[in-house]
Amino acid sequence: MIQKPRGTRDFLPDEMEARRSTEAKMREAVRRFGYREVCTPEFEDLELFTLRSGEGIMQEMYVFEDKGGRKLALRPEITAAVIRMYINEAKVAPKPLRWCYFADCFRYERPQKGRYRQFWQFGAELIGADTAMADAEVIMLASEALNATGVTWDLKVGHLAFMRNLLAGLEPAAQRRVMAHLDKKDFEGLAATLEGMGKSALNDSLTALVECRTLKEAFEIAGAIPEKDRVEQTMAILDAAGVKYSLNFGIARGLDYYTGMVFEGFAHNLGAENQILGGGAYRLAHLFGGDDVASCGFAIGFDRVMVSLGDAAPAKDTIAAIICTDEGRTFALAAARQFRAAGIRAEMDLMGRGLGAQLARAAKVRRFCCCDWKTGGRCRAGDTKRPPLGKSRNSRCCRGSCRGEGVSFLLMSSQSSSAVSV
C-alpha cells in the first residue's frame, strides 16, 4: 500500500472545516487593517533563498533541476518570494504596500509535533514604510490575527539596536556565534565563547540585556543608540493601543536579516517547540536587484496554531442542521451565519431531506423552532413554555407554523447532552 510522504498529512473534512474556519478569522483580522492577499509560485529560483541565507540552507530545502537545467527550490518561506514579486511587479506602485498571504511551504527536516515538511504560513508584509508607526502597525496586526484564532499566547517585543551596539566590536562571524548562544539561552557556552575571543567583559552586559524587561534598563546596559526615539515611540503606540506584550531584548534570531524592531509569539501549551509567530523590520529588496526599501512583516505558523488550539477549537462533532422551506431560505441563511460565527458547523437542509433527516435519528438531537433563535423563546404559534435556544434539553418545534417562517433547527453534539448556545 502506498503511503503519504514522510512529514506530510491528509486532512479529512472535519479537520479541513476547522482549519478553514480559523483561517477565515485571520483573513478577516488583517482585512480590517487594509491588507490585501497576494500569491507567489510554490517553487522559485534557488538563488532567491541562497542569496539571503547562504548555501547551507540547501540542506534544509527541497532542491531540484527542471528539464532545462534550471536550479529550483520549493519555497521554505514566503517573505523572500513576496519581495521578489514586489521587485518584478510592483516596484513603482504607490507605497506603502500592505500585502498578506496564506500558503504552504516546504522544508526537509525531521518531522515532529506541529513541525512538518509541508507546512502552512499566514503572514503579512508592509513594504515602503520606515517609521515607528509602521513597526507598531505590524505588531498590532499580528496580535489581532492571532487573537482572532482564540489561541492563548504571549507576545515578546524587542529591538536589535541594543544587541548591535554591544556587539559592534566583533566580526560578523563572531557575532553569529554569540547570537547562536543567546538564541538558545546557552549562557555557559556564551561565557566560554567570549572568553576564547578575549571578550569576557561582554558577558555580563549581554546576560543583563537578555534578562532586562524595561526600556530604562536596556538603555543603561547598551548605552546611547541612535534609534532611541523610534524605539520609545513604537512602544508608546503599542501601549496606547492596548497591545499586551512584554519586552525581550534577547531576541537573537536574524541579526543579519532584521534591521531593527523584532517580535515573537509563543503558545502556552506547545512545550519546547512553542513559537508560533516571528517578525520584524528588514531590508531585502536590494539583495534581489531592487531598491533599498524598508519593509516590516511577520509569519504565523498555522499548523502550530491549530495544534495549540486543541480543545479550544470548535468541536468537530457539533453540527446544526437548519431545516427550511423555500420561503424560509433567507432567514435560514442568516441563522447559518450565526451558528458558524460561534464555531458550529451549520448546514442548510431543504425540507429536512438531507442532514436533518440523519440527525433526527440520532440520540442526542435537540430541536428548536425559528422563534427560539429569533425572539428568545416566544413562539408565535402559541407554545410559550420553551426557553431560548441553548437553554432547553427537550425542546419541541412548531415546524415553521409560526407565521410561516418555515425554519427549524436540529442541533447535535456528542460532547454534551445539552444544547449549544449561539
The yes-or-no verdict on residue 48 having pLDDT over 70 is yes
Q: Which of 81-95, 161-175, 252-266 has the lowest mean pLDDT?
A: 252-266
At residue 278, what is the residue type?
Answer: G
Residue among 222, 169, 165 nearest 197 (CA): 169
Interval 54-82: pLDDT, tens: 777 899 999 999 999 999 999 999 999 99
> Which of the pair, 52 or 313, is modelled with greater confidence?
52
- Beta-bridge partner residues of 74: 43
Say which residue, 101 or 176, is predicted with more confidence.
101
Q: How many CB atoms lie within 10 A of CB 355?
A: 20
Question: In the predicted model, what is the mean pLDDT of residues 31-55?
Answer: 92
Give pLDDT tens digits for 266-320. 999 888 789 999 999 999 999 888 899 999 999 999 999 999 997 444 444 556 6
For 54-117, where are the E strands, in sequence order? 63-65, 71-74, 97-106
Rounded to whole angstroms, how far apart are CA atoms 277 and 287? 24
3-state secondary structure of 107: coil
Report field, pTM of the whole predicted structure over 0.85: no
Helix-helix angle 201-211:187-197, to 10 degrees:
150
Q: Which is nearest to 9 in space by CA: 101, 113, 102, 123?
A: 113
DSSP 8-state assignment for residue 421: P
Q: What is the DSSP letter of 112?
A: B
Greater pLDDT, 186 or 388: 186
What interhelical angle do 13-31 and 132-149 show, nearest 10? 150
**Three cell numbers, residue 134:** 509602521
Residue 256's alpha-carbon distances to 53, 54, 123, 249, 253, in angstroms, are 9, 12, 21, 16, 9
